[in-house]
Structure 1
């Protein structure tokens, strides 16, 4: 009999918070989980060490009297409680424990009624705001922000996969700030004779195309290449770091 997990979602203070439940099953007239459930609940415990138990509900099948079944359900709850406690799981200070004799909607399959349902909540994970997201949020109209760790294959507009985290940050900032409008600006390094292949424009367009593919409204974005006309360091650069800093993509905050 497989462990059943049901996920219910609700909102608290505008943050997503998940309440979940997991079921432990028992053999007929037994108050300790059956072997299959023991293996599965141990695996569940190993993967949910930081969860907090908030409710334990105990059930029995329809055999025997209501009072006998309720006492059996209570023992099942207590044994599961001890099992979870010995495994180091945390319990809510308002832990609720309810035993049912027969007064619940029973499954036609008796084995599915011999159970304890564990309700738990996982720790709330607060996303860490990236430096780029923070800069965009705090920026003013007219300000330039360099996109960090954006890489392209040599002399091309093909974005290297390790640039993905920055692209995702930029996309999220655009999604979270629907009034934000930007100009994506490409720059190159090293070439004293200008951008013969117009790589700077192609790279700016590549960022624009990524955002467009991810459903950012084209009316909120433009792109432009500046070749080598706005270097941070004089060309030819003296170090690889200076080359990297000249070879960049920036966004100009147009509207917020």
Structure 2
């Protein structure tokens, strides 16, 4: 019985994320998105709002998109206030942040025109049966019952699958948070196009993770270390160096002071697995970028 109560308490305290989307260059919802937002807002559920983040796509200047991100946040926040003291409660430690275009989390720019709301469902609450809607455009907590048919000219904003919109942030730990001076961390799942320093789109969340750590800890200094696989000796095309520089340039482009950053290539001199590697898994683990904590 104690185990059941403990599990029930953990489920109640779990955090969730709801994402709400905007049309290009707009800070108010279109009718469809407004309907989805109001449906979420009016759920029979007590929620504590923990974090509100705003984003834009990459069109426009940094200053313009920073302002637009906060306007979108304001749209959501003002609507949330209409339910305060009834079913919506703002955390005493509420965090509000406009990222503008500085953090891109989706390859398609329409997915970056959004506000993310992180919240916690407050006990006591009986878990409701999940509702299925026929409409293919859904919000957090719903299921997509069919795939939408969207033409190239269709401006309907397709929200990602429900699983993509729910993020158990309470369970997430940024791997850099516990790092000490002298620690070296591999940037797992950081991939580049072949023989280049260009990130594949799937690598952007990995870069965002490092960026968030550097923003949150302004005294931290790091060395970005590049490594290659497969061949002993020199790195004739300096691929390891190019990739270390790419990480450096990403951080600088997102307002991290260059004086906090160093970069270095080790080529193939520090492999995790002996060269030649036995399989692709070992090759992937040898070709890597590592972050050395110099100061914190």
SS at match of 2:177: helix
Aligned equivalent of 1:244: 284
Task: State the Cα deviation string for residues 205-229 of structure 1 (Å, max 9, x = none).
Answer: 0000000000001011000111000
User: For 1:41 and 1:197, how far apart are their aligned partners in 2?
Assistant: 52
SS at match of 1:204: helix
Q: 1:48 aligns with which of 19, 24, 41?
A: 41
User: Which structure has more strand as a fraction of its residues?
Assistant: 1
Aligned-residue RMSD, C-alpha? 2.8
User: For 2:203 and 2:187, how far apart are their aligned partners in 1?
Assistant: 10
User: For 2:260 and 2:45, how far apart are their aligned partners in 1?
Assistant: 48
User: For 2:268 and 2:34, how far apart are their aligned partners in 1?
Assistant: 62
- Measured after TM superposition, the shift of residue 91 of structure 1 is 7.1
User: For 1:141 and 1:90, how far apart are their aligned partners in 2?
Assistant: 44
Q: Is residue 142 of structure 2 the alignment partner of residue 178 of structure 1?
A: no
Contact 2:233 2:269 in 1 (8 A): no
Is the radius of gyration larger for structure 1 or structure 2?
1
User: For 1:189 and 1:240, how far apart are their aligned partners in 2?
Assistant: 10
CA pair 41-136 structure 1, distance change in 2 beyond 3 A: closer
SS at match of 2:189: coil
Task: State the Cα deviation string for residues 123-182 of structure 1 (Å, max 9, x = none).
Answer: 852744744x2x312111111100111001111111111100010000000001111110
Aligned equivalent of 2:179: 139
Contact 1:181 1:253 in 2 (8 A): yes
Aligned equivalent of 1:35: none
- Structure 1: give runs of 5+ residues left out of the alignment: 1-39, 51-88, 93-116
- Structure 2: give runs of 5+ residues left out of the alignment: 1-32, 48-80, 90-116, 121-168
- Measured after TM superposition, the shift of residue 46 of structure 1 is 2.0
Contact 1:130 1:169 in 2 (8 A): no
User: 1:14-163, aligned counterparts within 5 Å?
Assistant: 45-50=38-43, 89-90=44-45, 118-120=82-84, 121=88, 125=119, 127-128=169-170, 130-131=172-173, 133=174, 135-163=175-203
Aligned equivalent of 1:233: 273
- Measured after TM superposition, the shift of residue 193 of structure 1 is 3.7
Aligned equivalent of 2:229: 189
CA pair 177-154 structure 1, distance change in 2 beyond 3 A: same
SS at match of 1:242: helix
TM-score (norm 2): 0.47
Contact 1:233 1:246 in 2 (8 A): yes
Contact 1:184 1:250 in 2 (8 A): yes
